[in-house]
Structure 1
């Protein structure tokens, strides 16, 4: 499979193309938050409208992951990935041209469909172009594009000043995927196995048949818990820092250290997973996440809080990208992208739930330390889920 998959491009260039796709996704996802201060008054949007518009992309991502993974197992990775990239490019442009709240919500929903269609394809491609001893670092190298793209749009907004308004940010985020889509179509090799190699591709049977029910359930559990913690921290860490008595600048810096450490964690953990295996590495990572979250709730000195935020980012995002490498190995080639897409879709329920839970806890009178402490059990259960997955479930025999 590996030699065939890399027919037109070497694995390094395939990773570079997928990294670019992930970077453009990360750019657009972060662009919404960056654009809000100017977008809201321009379109006359209130907080609740902004919340729904922001969530629309995540809902679209969940739907796109399910449908994109299903389509890729039937029609091929390359055409579905090409359409997905073009789709989120077109609707990023539509976002820039939005003149009403309704148009904005529909544009963000459609953009999310493109994101979702791309992600399980990249997970499947990473599995199919790399030997087992390079799979984790291949996957993490691709998905490091997500925080890199998010950092790029933040820098663009910071240094572009008044010359870069919110519409320009989305126009750039739409034009670049449209330029990349032909590269994906004409140069990325097809990695889907030939028809004779495929198994029964009914989605439900593929996910739960042939004794894969436990593996699928555990994969869904650890994805949902990891993304619950990730998105609660991404959305609430600066606010919780301010509630603890620190300045908004301190909160922003805590988020900065969390994101920087996440990239380091992804690459280092990918390298280690290929050498030491997944089980004890991931158990240790998520146990360490529980310790880091406890530290975030208890530390009162700014240096300790920055260190705990960095440790949390290292573990929760680095661990997530290792899960991106691990999950596809439990499915045969004919259902691999659909299995990855289902994991992403269920995980997005966690990403939606996390910020909502924090909001409800704060509204109920929970202090910032109490909110952070509620995440500790989620990290512990993630460690337990990973241990069960890697101990009691066997990867597909071809992997």
Structure 2
């Protein structure tokens, strides 16, 4: 499974670690806040509504940030923008640690979210363009596994800091600690360059991406279907992860400490990333995503209705992490093979972050309907609808597994030239 890395060129390996470290850092900063919320609620007396507003603000600003970062990277280069995004969200993470009230923290987290959104689309674009096409699924899948590392680090770091420091200093320290890995990421990226595919696209002076590129006739259909795919996958993932603990409590099941439960799910997601990465290169992106979508729904329904004890709860938690989160290892390769180089990061940034933001609203939908329909039934229904949306989008999008991105760019150029009037038509 790691042969692709062993046989990779030095450039491919450097690019992999730069993207992996960046995504792990992004995950750490995003996940850390959710573990700090109980402390902030206790210290500042925040309402759950105010806590939710802070969390949602970062998510919504990430959608805008991902879109803008994609446009900038299509103009100025992947590596330059990736370094900028890390500097951006690290700086505002430090600022967040100095916040004195709800309003200041809200502003800092909103600005920090702009940096979060740019990391995924730009990093995936860079890795997809540098890696050997036959290994693209595995390489991008292992990059995605950085999410599991960042998630686990957030749990361990926040737990340790809260145990060693008074609460009023601990939450601030958790934000400031993020500076250390950020410096490592910036150092790693000093030795990484933009892909040859990107340089060729720049040399051809092709149409530059803009904020309206995704809405042009050429890219609108694929961009909207890609957003629909992300919406379905993210809605299912959010509903499962957010409401599973409440569902377990409703059934009177004690699954052990929260730390152990989350670490088991993180371990499951890491395993799922690796397996999904292998499958996406082996059988294709579309079949892999369909299998994982159906599997996620089956695991969720089983989690809700079968009798189980704490041991089975941990096993099911591992499978939930492997399916609902691990499936995202195939999403990066699939989306990167939908768009030509000159607009890849722009369209991916829009599709991923807009779909993610809309998909997150499913969490609220479950909360509103659960009182009438029951939590288990509502979660099952929402997940079924979410993954059905994802499967429909998958069936309408092409599976370009392993395509040479130069071939994708060439077909784009051929299509564009076919639309240009010939000289005889021009002078007719």
TM-score normalized by the length of structure 2:
0.84
- Return 113-122 or 380-389, whichever deviates more: 380-389
Taking only aligned residues, the RMSD between alpha carbons, in angstroms, comes to: 2.6
| Equivalent residue number for residue 137 of structure 1 | 138
Q: Structure 2 residue aligned with 1:298, among 287, 302, 305?
A: 305
- Assess, with a 3 A threshold, how the Cα gap between structure 1 residues 50 and 59 changes in structure 2: closer, same or farther: same
| Equivalent residue number for residue 167 of structure 1 | 172
- Assess, with a 3 A threshold, how the Cα gap between structure 1 residues 379 and 326 changes in structure 2: closer, same or farther: same
| Equivalent residue number for residue 312 of structure 1 | 320
| Equivalent residue number for residue 421 of structure 2 | none
Matched, 1:96 2:91: no
| Equivalent residue number for residue 380 of structure 2 | 373
Q: Is the 8 A contact 1:132 1:274 kept in 2?
A: no
Matched, 1:219 2:226: yes
Number of equivalences = 391
Structure showing greater Rg: 2
Matched, 1:284 2:284: no
| Equivalent residue number for residue 395 of structure 2 | 387
Quote how far apart the aligned CAs of 1:219 are: 1.2
| Equivalent residue number for residue 331 of structure 1 | 339
Counterparts of 1:80 and 1:239, CA distance in 2: 39
Quote how far apart the aligned CAs of 1:316 are: 2.2
Quote how far apart the aligned CAs of 1:271 are: 1.4
Quote how far apart the aligned CAs of 1:188 are: 1.6
- Assess, with a 3 A threshold, how the Cα gap between structure 1 residues 394 and 387 changes in structure 2: closer, same or farther: farther
Describe how 1:59-78 pairs up with structure 2 within 5 A: 59-78=60-79
- Assess, with a 3 A threshold, how the Cα gap between structure 1 residues 205 and 103 changes in structure 2: closer, same or farther: closer
- Assess, with a 3 A threshold, how the Cα gap between structure 1 residues 248 and 287 changes in structure 2: closer, same or farther: closer
| Equivalent residue number for residue 241 of structure 2 | 234
Q: Is the 8 A contact 2:272 2:325 kept in 1?
A: yes
| Equivalent residue number for residue 260 of structure 1 | 267
Counterparts of 1:356 and 1:109, CA distance in 2: 20
- Return 56-65 or 302-311, whichever deviates more: 302-311
Unaligned stretches of 5+ in structure 2? 1-7, 409-428
| Equivalent residue number for residue 199 of structure 2 | 193
Quote how far apart the aligned CAs of 1:218 are: 1.9
Q: Structure 2 residue aligned with 1:342, among 339, 350, 354?
A: 350
Matched, 1:360 2:380: no
- Assess, with a 3 A threshold, how the Cα gap between structure 1 residues 161 and 106 changes in structure 2: closer, same or farther: closer
Which whole-Å deviations, capped at 9, do the CAs of 1:194-225 have from their partners, x for residues lacking one? 42345323447753656544332221111011
| Equivalent residue number for residue 181 of structure 2 | 176
Which whole-Å deviations, capped at 9, do the CAs of 1:243-264 have from their partners, x for residues lacking one? 1221363776554443322111
| Equivalent residue number for residue 417 of structure 2 | none
Which whole-Å deviations, capped at 9, do the CAs of 1:46-98 have from their partners, x for residues lacking one? 21111111112111211110000011001111111111100011011011111
- Assess, with a 3 A threshold, how the Cα gap between structure 1 residues 32 and 168 changes in structure 2: closer, same or farther: same
SS at match of 2:330: helix
Q: Is the 8 A contact 2:142 2:329 kept in 1?
A: no
Which whole-Å deviations, capped at 9, do the CAs of 1:98-125 have from their partners, x for residues lacking one? 1111110011111111111222111101
Q: Is the 8 A contact 2:292 2:327 kept in 1?
A: yes
Quote how far apart the aligned CAs of 1:179 are: 4.8
Q: Is the 8 A contact 2:134 2:402 kept in 1?
A: no
Q: Is the 8 A contact 2:19 2:127 kept in 1?
A: no
| Equivalent residue number for residue 398 of structure 1 | 407
